[in-house]
Structure 1
Amino acid sequence: MNVQAHETLEPGEARCPGPSTRDLILRDGWNVPPELVTESYEFLGDEDIPYERYTSRALFAREMEKLWPKVWQWACREEHVPEVGDYHVYDVGNHSILVIRVAEDEIKAYYNSCLHRGTQLRPSDSTGSVTQLRCPFHGWTWNLDGSLREIPCRWDFPKVTDEAFSLPEVKVARWGGFVFINMDPDAMPLEEYLEVLPAHFANWPLDRRYTAVHVQKILPANWKAAQEAFAEAYHVLETHSQALYTASDANAQYDVFGERTSRFIHTVGIPSPHLTEPVSQEEILKRMRGGQGDMDIPLGGTARAVVADHLRQALGEAYKIDLSAWSPSELMDSIQYHLFPNTYMHSGITLPLIYRFRPNGMDTESAIFDILVLRPIPEGEAAPEPPEPVKLGVDDSYLTVRGLDPGLAQVYDQDTKNLGMQQRAFHNRGKRGETLGNYQEIRIRRMHKTLDTYLRA
């Protein structure tokens, strides 16, 4: 939608002048899944978002009570618990959940707490394999299926019965190779909670990918502010200006599909609308190739198409999969979905990223940021064992992580610097809230509105 006179439009109708993301994707001349060029936007208001939402300990406590125990959230990948007895401990705030494979095709989850005096059965943030669940304090023991197995000095606990002292279970469901948990026994089925994701990701199945890199970093910001930094391309102009020649930003597409799912798409290989001088296709190609001039652009062709053709062949050979039907957009563009409350999923091959944001223990003003790089599993092969997460402190650079693209590492370092400055400024006097763009920051507003429905419940 081209816009010349914004003052004649209703709130939320304005768009960046020039071709839309949909126009750019269709211009490639490929058949693409209809879900990729679907547009879904709704104006959701323009009130400021109070800074208290990122600093208030009272609000944080309400989230621990009313949000995190009521939502579906992924705890691990299935490859983290491939064999019977394999477990993974997922912590969010003051909640600790033990996920364990109890049979070849059955995964259960329990509150990570002994029914004697409450000690954690397995350490926080741990992964391993066991034949039973034994408390390290007094030795109370449960079978993998949660049934009570042994109590030392059982004669001293006449009130304890096997039936009443099975480990309390947490709801578990699987999708896309992820293991999701929900502490609410009355929670809606995961398939319903996911809204459009199963239909859209049928084109890009995540269960046929494996974890190649896992980075876990402490961010100096509230978990909501931390994830909002990744919800829009509006910040590219100032924060990631090195990308302006190869990534459109102001004309990115933003979609809200329901209360819990949203998306943005911004194209790669197309210059930013902010650039005032024309950029040649040769210059775009040079920058996309990191300064290498080893490719030619045919007459009338584009750098985007040339790089896409190269990636289609090179990545297809590297991953031993057929990418011949993948369009330039599916190969290269940043196609990022959000699942409330804390997950971002990219569908592409060159940006195969999964993000998760959660509170760092009970600290209101820091967060744990997980990045998974998911590579395709070669045809006919099993997923390799997942790597141990590389753990970074606030001041550690992503450039130290082996296997993480240096360009992405630079981007993440730039984002982290912004977050610390933003979180500190939330406490300043003066204007007391965020003023959001109606279109480019709609995903942030949608997240807060959905959060409010849980906090009011």
Structure 2
Amino acid sequence: MDDLLVERIRADMAYEFQRTAPPEGFPAFHDIATERHTSDAFHDLEREHLWSKTWVIAGRLEDVPNPGDYFTFDKLGVPLLVVRGTDDVVRCFYNTCQHRGAPVVRDERGSARRLRCQYHSWTYEVDGGTLVAVPDERDFVDLDWEQRCLPRASCDAYGGFVFVNLDLDADPLVDWIGPLAEMLDPFRGSELREVYRETRIVPCNWKVTAEAFLEVYHFKHIHSHGGVSVLDNRGAAMGLYPNGHSRMITPFSAQHAARMGMADWDDWRPIDHRPFASITGVPNMASCTSSAVSIFPNVIIPLGPIGFPINVFWPIDKGTTLLEWIYYGLPPEGQDRFDPDDLPEHWKTRRDGYNSIMAEDERNMAPMQRSMESPALRGIPINYQERRIWHLHEEIDRVIGVENVPEKWRMSPVLQPYVET
């Protein structure tokens, strides 16, 4: 995140504060069809085309620190296995023995020199998934060992996170992340470690949860305390990136800026975050604004100088979502990780504060889903402040294939001129 980008964001905020309407020529949005959140048919389209072709976060590199270390991952609707090979390369295989379909490994995480199915002991290498042992081979006629290797999925790492993609022909992860990296790289994700995690089952479509974090139009209405809002949504500066990614930088309200010792919303001065350890090289903007990015399709990251949570939304069915948030920070000096059962007091306070904000958002989600399923809501109007939501839906259609989406549910592709490359 260079100085030119920071100053461009500052100028965008100033423009947002003074504008009286959307920019001249900005397109009018038609209503988003409620069926995109409520229908079995659209959920099935996403399951078949979206989740099978998209890079998603499966874990962290420190989850597999040594050769043979593995963890399982089941959130894409198929059982997967991520393992570090003897060559130090992290790969992803389907956790499905090619004999009778039993899991190759049953534990959520572990370590093995070879991957041996516990049903009939068919055995595979941890490097290429090559089949190397079949008990009673004599009883198989013309067994083609090369055709019985463990099937692979695409696997790569970025910022310490392990990404997987069921599409073996997927674009390289670094190309898919693209210019979003200018926002992510300064926060040194590979140096951070998990502080704590929370999991909720929420009775709503996964996009209802994602959309809650793609705008601050709602912020002063549900996150104000004592009549004071931390953020001023009128100055939110947004950027749209290729592949459905985006950013949103929101200035502090006048009251909160004063509380932080700032002269005004754009007084982006150094802030002392002790006793937290701060990430070196992070622009002051991250301390003096709410700086958030989205990684398509299901990750929101509120970036900060002491670390960040990742909010992740996994569809269980059309009306149920697994909501996770996992906070990452620099571990205490002299330690390589956090002990979630013995967090420092300042991290406990941070945890409780963030969980409270998440609870305020979560309270809206189930009622919204019920209302979306009502005939009273004929469509979902989206405004200029909410354009990141439109950007998400446009990309969903592109990945599914516009021709596969019923015409009455399609998104008009109008935001391409506003995408930064």
Aligned match of 1:250 in 226, 231, 234? 234
**Partner SS for 1:128:** strand
Decide which structure has greater helix share. 2
Q: Which amino acid aligns with 2:101?
A: G
Cross-structure match for 2:4: 34
Deviation at 1:302, TM superposition (A): 6.5
What do the CA deviations read for 1:76-134 (whole angstroms, capped 9, x no partner)? 1111111112112222242222111113531010012111222232348x222233222
Cross-structure match for 2:195: 212
Cross-structure match for 1:8: none
For residues 151 and 335 of structure 2, what CA distance do their matches in structure 1 show? Answer: 33
Cross-structure match for 1:156: 139
Cross-structure match for 2:375: 429
Cross-structure match for 1:95: 78
Asked whether the 8 Å contact 1:332–1:350 carries over to 2, the reply is no
Asked whether the 8 Å contact 2:131–2:145 carries over to 1, the reply is yes
Aligned match of 1:444 in 389, 403, 408? 389
Aligned match of 1:189 in 172, 195, 199? 172
For residues 404 and 224 of structure 1, what CA distance do their matches in structure 2 show? Answer: 27
For residues 38 and 218 of structure 1, what CA distance do their matches in structure 2 show? Answer: 39
Asked whether the 8 Å contact 1:193–1:260 carries over to 2, the reply is no
Deviation at 1:199, TM superposition (A): 2.9
Pair 1:67-2:37 in alignment: no
Pair 1:369-2:353 in alignment: no
What do the CA deviations read for 1:330-376 (whole angstroms, capped 9, x no partner)? 2242211111111222331256121221112xx22111122121113
Alignment map for 1:86-165 (pairs within 5 Å): 86-103=69-86, 105-123=88-106, 126-145=108-127, 146-165=129-148
Pair 1:420-2:375 in alignment: no
- Note closer, same or farther for the CA distance 1:343–1:322 as it changes in structure 2 (3 Å cut): closer
For residues 200 and 80 of structure 1, what CA distance do their matches in structure 2 show? Answer: 25
How many residues align? The count is 382
For residues 186 and 69 of structure 2, what CA distance do their matches in structure 1 show? Answer: 30
What do the CA deviations read for 1:371-425 (whole angstroms, capped 9, x no partner)? 121113578x67427869xxxxxxxxxxxx9675222211111111100101111
TM-score by length of 2: 0.81
Structure 1 gaps of 5+ residues are: 1-30, 272-278, 289-296, 389-400
Aligned match of 1:58 in 14, 38, 41? 41
**Partner SS for 1:452:** helix
Cross-structure match for 1:21: none
Aligned match of 1:172 in 155, 163, 168? 155
For residues 365 and 35 of structure 1, what CA distance do their matches in structure 2 show? Answer: 39
Asked whether the 8 Å contact 2:332–2:338 carries over to 1, the reply is no
**Partner SS for 1:241:** coil
Pair 1:410-2:356 in alignment: yes
- Note closer, same or farther for the CA distance 1:231–1:170 as it changes in structure 2 (3 Å cut): same
**Partner SS for 2:320:** strand
- Note closer, same or farther for the CA distance 1:38–1:111 as it changes in structure 2 (3 Å cut): farther
**Partner SS for 1:54:** helix
For residues 116 and 340 of structure 2, what CA distance do their matches in structure 1 show? Answer: 26
What do the CA deviations read for 1:224-280 (whole angstroms, capped 9, x no partner)? 111111111111122112283432223211211223221101123x33xxxxxxx59
For residues 432 and 157 of structure 1, what CA distance do their matches in structure 2 show? Answer: 60
Structure 2 gaps of 5+ residues are: 13-22, 342-346, 403-421
**Partner SS for 1:414:** helix
Asked whether the 8 Å contact 2:115–2:126 carries over to 1, the reply is yes
- Note closer, same or farther for the CA distance 1:227–1:322 as it changes in structure 2 (3 Å cut): closer
Aligned match of 2:59 in 67, 73, 76? 76
Pair 1:356-2:312 in alignment: yes
- Note closer, same or farther for the CA distance 1:303–1:364 as it changes in structure 2 (3 Å cut): closer
**Partner SS for 1:425:** helix
For residues 272 and 293 of structure 2, what CA distance do their matches in structure 1 show? Answer: 26
State, as a whole percentage, how many aligned pairs show the same letter.
28
Deviation at 1:185, TM superposition (A): 1.6
Between stretches 184-193 and 201-210, larger displacement belongs to 201-210
Alignment map for 1:233-244 (pairs within 5 Å): 233-242=216-225, 244=228
Deviation at 1:310, TM superposition (A): 2.9
Asked whether the 8 Å contact 1:196–1:261 carries over to 2, the reply is no
For residues 120 and 221 of structure 2, what CA distance do their matches in structure 1 show? Answer: 57
For residues 290 and 307 of structure 2, what CA distance do their matches in structure 1 show? Answer: 7
Deviation at 1:137, TM superposition (A): 2.9
Cross-structure match for 1:223: 206
Q: Which amino acid aligns with 2:223?
A: H
For residues 98 and 190 of structure 1, what CA distance do their matches in structure 2 show? Answer: 19
**Partner SS for 2:52:** helix
